[in-house]
Chain A
Amino acid sequence: MNKILLVIQREYLARVKKKSFLIATILTPLIFPAIMGIFVWIAVQEKDGQSLRIIEVVDDTGLFFMESSEQYAFTSSDIDPEAAKKMVQDGERYGFLHIPKLDLQNPTGIQFYGVENPSLTLMGYLESALKRKIEDQKLYDQGIDPKVLKEIRTDVSIKSITLGEQGEEKINNANVNYAIGFLSGILIYIFIFVYGNQIMQGVIEEKSTRIVEILVSSLKPFQLMMGKIVGIGAVGLTQFLIWVVLIGTLSTLVMGVLGFQMPQQQAMEMANPEFAQATPDSSELADILAVINGIDFVALVLSFVMYFLGGYLLYGSLFAAIGSAVDAPSDAQQFMFPITIPLIVAYMGLFVFVLQDPTSTTSFWLSIIPLTSPIAMMGRISYGVPFWELALSMGLLVLGFLFTTWLAGKIYRIGILMHGTKPTYKILWKWIKASQ
Chain B
Amino acid sequence: MLQITQLNKSYENHRALSEVDLLVPRGVIFGLLGPNGAGKTTLIRIVNQIIEQDSGSVELDGKILSPDDVRKIGYLPEERGLYKKMKVWDQLIYFSRLKGLSESDAKLEIKHWLEKLDIATWRDKKIEDLSKGMAQKVQFISTIVHRPSLLILDEPFSGFDPVNAEIIKNEILELKTNGTTVILSTHRMESVELLCDQVAMINKSRKILDGTIREVKRSFRPEVFRVGIASPIQELPREWVPKFTGDAWEFTLPLSGKAPNQLLAELMEYGEVVMFREQIPSMEEIFIHQVKASSNE
Contacts and interface: CB of A to CB of B under 8 A. Distances in A.
B85 A14 contact: yes
A7 B82 CA distance: 15
A218 B77 contact: no
Nearest to B99: A218
A210 B80 contact: yes
A154 interface: no
A436 B10 CA distance: 11
Contacts of A217: 48-50, 70, 73, 75, 77
Interface residues of A, number: 23
Interface in B16-71: 45, 48-52, 67, 70
A430 interface: yes
Nearest to B84: A209
A20 to B, nearest CB: 11
Given A3-B98, A218-B99, A211 B50 contact: no
A430 B98 CA distance: 31
B86 A14 contact: yes
A209 B83 CA distance: 8
A122 interface: no
A417 B79 CA distance: 11
Contacts, number: 58
Contact of A214 (B75, B85, B97): B75
A1 to B, nearest CB: 12
Interface in A166-218: 205-206, 208-211, 213-218
Nearest to B139: A214
Contacts of B49: 217
A430 B12 contact: yes
Contacts of B157: none
Interface size class for chain B? 20 to 34
Nearest to A208: B81
Contacts of B95: 214, 218
Instruction: Name, among B52, B70, B84, the residue most crowded by chain A CB atoms within 10 Å (CB to CB).
Output: B70
Given A417-B50, A417-B51, A213 B77 contact: yes
Instruction: Name, among B49, B81, B95, B97, the residue most crowded by chain A CB atoms within 10 Å (CB to CB).
Output: B81
A219 interface: yes
Interface in A358-378: none
B276 interface: no
A22 B84 CA distance: 21
B142 interface: yes
Contacts of A211: 81-83
B122 interface: no
A6 B81 contact: no
26 contacts: A6-B97, A206-B81, A209-B81, A209-B84, A210-B81, A211-B81, A211-B83, A213-B75, A213-B77, A213-B80, A214-B80, A214-B81, A214-B95, A216-B48, A217-B50, A217-B70, A217-B73, A217-B75, A217-B77, A218-B70, A218-B95, A218-B99, A220-B67, A417-B51, A430-B12, A436-B52
